């Protein structure tokens, strides 16, 4: 039988997907690096008296808006609807406020924060009630979806086919126990969005952890021990961490 010069199609597809994910990570870090360089250039020109930095930087909410649209559409980064909606809403509001289109600022709507906190507490309580009444269904969920806003949430995942998910913490925290979980595939991806919050995650001892998240004034601490035997799963952490922290341990 003649050798297929194109190689194994399955390996070609998997390799292309891996290169695509790596390319997206490089692009996101490249964009962030260019923003930092641009800020440095603006401040330098301001010190030299060539431009007025305050005139240019007053439009900084446009960066939040652009990042939110990127997260909503998945352009140059992993798609995440929750974080995309938050950044898009805040960026749009601040930009319209800067352009004097909206007469009210975010501080004028502080009661809305109280309403959102109350809704978050109610939804969290209902989730715990449903979880207590249907523990088997919760354990069978193959994907993890966790959201915390000004609150703390504990989750234990005990599925035999863990496929990843997303974790969002906005001025809140998560304690996620993945030790009872198992993977049938080679890897699973958890997309993180942490804004002034924290995530404490425990993983099985036979899992390897790879962090590809982008921290800004925050960090990820991997305290897991390397698997003593065969690796039975690879957990990949991606996403965005700003003024927050993520800790992973066995």
82-104 pLDDT per residue, tens: 777 877 888 888 888 888 787 77
CA dist 213 → 123, 189, 191, 218 (Å): 28, 11, 8, 11
The chain-wide mean pLDDT, for the chain, equals 75
If asked whether residues 47 and 152 sit together in one domain, one would say: no
Question: Which two tokens mark 110?
Answer: 């502080």
Q: Per the structure, how many domains does the chain have?
A: 2
Q: What percent of the chain has pLDDT over 90?
A: 8
Which of 2-6, 75-79, 163-167, 185-189 has the weakest average pLDDT? 2-6
Q: How high is the pLDDT of residue 76?
A: 65
Q: Give the 3-state secondary structure of residue 14.
A: helix
- Do 242 and 146 have their domain in common? yes
Q: How confident is the model at residue 248 (pLDDT cuts 50, 70, 90)?
A: very high
Domain around 33: 1-57
Last residue of a domain, one of 42, 57, 72: 57
Task: Please tell me whether residues 51 and 141 are part of one structural domain.
Answer: no
Which has the higher per-residue pLDDT, 67 or 116? 67
Q: Give the pLDDT score at 94.
A: 83
pLDDT of residue 203: 93
Q: What is the pLDDT of residue 5?
A: 45
Residue 130 lies in a domain: no
In a domain, 121, yes or no: no
23 found inside a domain: yes
With beta carbons less than 8 A apart as the criterion, state whether 241 and 220 touch. Answer: yes
In a domain, 77, yes or no: no
Report if residue 101 sits inside a domain.
no
In a domain, 124, yes or no: no
- Is the model's pLDDT at 136 over the cut of 80? no
Is residue 151 domain-shared with residue 240, that is, in the same domain? yes
Residue 237 belongs to a domain = yes
146 assigned to some structural domain? yes
């Amino acid at each position: 039988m003649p050798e297929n010069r194109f190689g194994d199609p399955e390996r070609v597809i998997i390799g292309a997907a891996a290169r695509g994910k790596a390319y997206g990570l490089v692009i996101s870090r490249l964009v962030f690096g260019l923003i930092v360089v641009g800020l440095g250039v603006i401040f330098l020109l301001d010190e030299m008296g060539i431009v007025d930095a305050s005139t240019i930087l007053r439009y900084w909410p446009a960066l939040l808006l652009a990042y939110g649209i990127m997260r909503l559409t998945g352009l140059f980064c992993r798609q995440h609807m929750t974080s995309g909606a938050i950044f898009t809403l805040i960026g749009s509001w601040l930009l319209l406020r800067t352009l004097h289109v909206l007469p009210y600022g975010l501080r004028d709507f502080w009661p809305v924060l109280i309403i959102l906190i109350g809704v978050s507490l109610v939804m969290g309580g209902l989730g715990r009630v449903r979880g207590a009444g249907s523990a088997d269904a919760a354990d069978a969920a193959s994907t993890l979806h966790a959201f915390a806003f000004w609150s703390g949430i504990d989750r234990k995942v005990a599925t035999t086919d863990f496929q990843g998910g997303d974790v969002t913490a906005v001025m809140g925290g998560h304690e996620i126990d993945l030790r009872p979980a198992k993977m049938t595939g080679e890897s699973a991806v958890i997309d993180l969005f942490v804004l002034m919050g924290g995530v404490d995650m425990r993983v099985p001892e036979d899992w390897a952890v790879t962090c590809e998240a982008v921290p800004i004034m925050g960090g990820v601490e991997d305290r897991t021990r390397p698997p003593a035997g065969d690796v039975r799963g690879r957990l990949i952490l991606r996403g965005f961490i700003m003024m927050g922290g993520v800790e992973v341990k066995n």
